[in-house]
Amino acid sequence: MSMLFDIRGAALPLPIENLDTDQIMPKQFLRIIDKAGLAQGLLYDLRFDSSGQPIAGCVMNDARYRRASILIGGANFGCGSSREHAVWGLQQYGFSAVIAPSFAEIFYSNAMNNRLLLVQLARAEVEELILDWHRDPSAELRIDIERQRVESASGREYEFPLGERHKRMVIDGLDTIGMTLVDLADIQAFEQVHHARHPWATLG
């Protein structure tokens, strides 16, 4: 797996509070057994009207911004349903990172497991980035993952939190299952004791 040290690209602001995963990836795109076709479903009801025509005025339908790879969202981004399809869809559409004042819990784990970088900044910092965008929508941001910094085109830097394990998952693309299976003997030893001590937890 190739390493991912930094993310560069134009931003796209969509500062909607509590933007839930039902809206990010609506139900009709979930009837699949693979991960295909989710770019089309991304934020479908915001982008398309009920006859499937692009909604004029939706920032995502403006061809000038189609190359944006960093989404700037509102607080509690990705709340609601656990559907990982929301993360797959954001990536298939072309986003490599989301910047927001906060993220929902399950969405955060899902994103990290897919190397979609989530950057949590203070609300005022997110607003500054949106103001920057209004001044120059084509200006590129750079996100230095190792140093946990967003650099704006004007050279300002914003530090963001990222746990060490999550950082390695994003940069290195870890095989987390493979890593856990290294501890298989520990897991088996644990469950023997666990079931002996708590027989009521044994099923079947």
Looking at the Cβ atoms of 1 and 184, the one nearer to other proteins is 184
Q: Least CB distance from residue 182 to other proteins, whole Å?
A: 10
- To which H or E segment does residue 107 belong? helix 105-113
Q: How far apart are CA 115 and CA 194, in angstroms?
A: 34
Looking at the Cβ atoms of 7 and 78, the one nearer to other proteins is 78
- Beta-strand ranges (E) seen in the chain are 6-14, 70-73, 97-100, 117-120, 140-144, 149-151, 157-159
Looking at the Cβ atoms of 10 and 104, the one nearer to other proteins is 104
Q: Least CB distance from residue 150 to other proteins, whole Å?
A: 21
Looking at the Cβ atoms of 44 and 65, the one nearer to other proteins is 44
Looking at the Cβ atoms of 33 and 56, the one nearer to other proteins is 33
Q: Least CB distance from residue 202 to other proteins, whole Å?
A: 9
From the number of C-beta atoms within 10 Å of its C-beta (0-12, 13-18, 19+), residue 51 rates as exposed
Q: How far apart are CA 62 and CA 133, in angstroms?
A: 14
Q: Least CB distance from residue 138 to other proteins, whole Å?
A: 26
Q: How far apart are CA 182 and CA 187, in angstroms?
A: 10
Q: Least CB distance from residue 31 to other proteins, whole Å?
A: 4
Looking at the Cβ atoms of 10 and 129, the one nearer to other proteins is 129
Q: Least CB distance from residue 27 to other proteins, whole Å?
A: 5
CA atoms within 13 A on the CB side of 180: 5
* Three-state SS sequence of 60-93: HHCHHHCCCCEEEECCCECECCCCCHHHHHHHHH
Q: How far apart are CA 59 and CA 96, in angstroms?
A: 18
Residues interacting with other proteins, by CB under 8 A? 16-18, 20, 22-23, 26-27, 30-35, 45, 50, 74-76, 79-84, 87, 102, 104-106, 109-110, 113-114, 123, 163-165, 176-178, 180-181, 183-184, 186-187, 190-191, 194, 198-201, 203-204
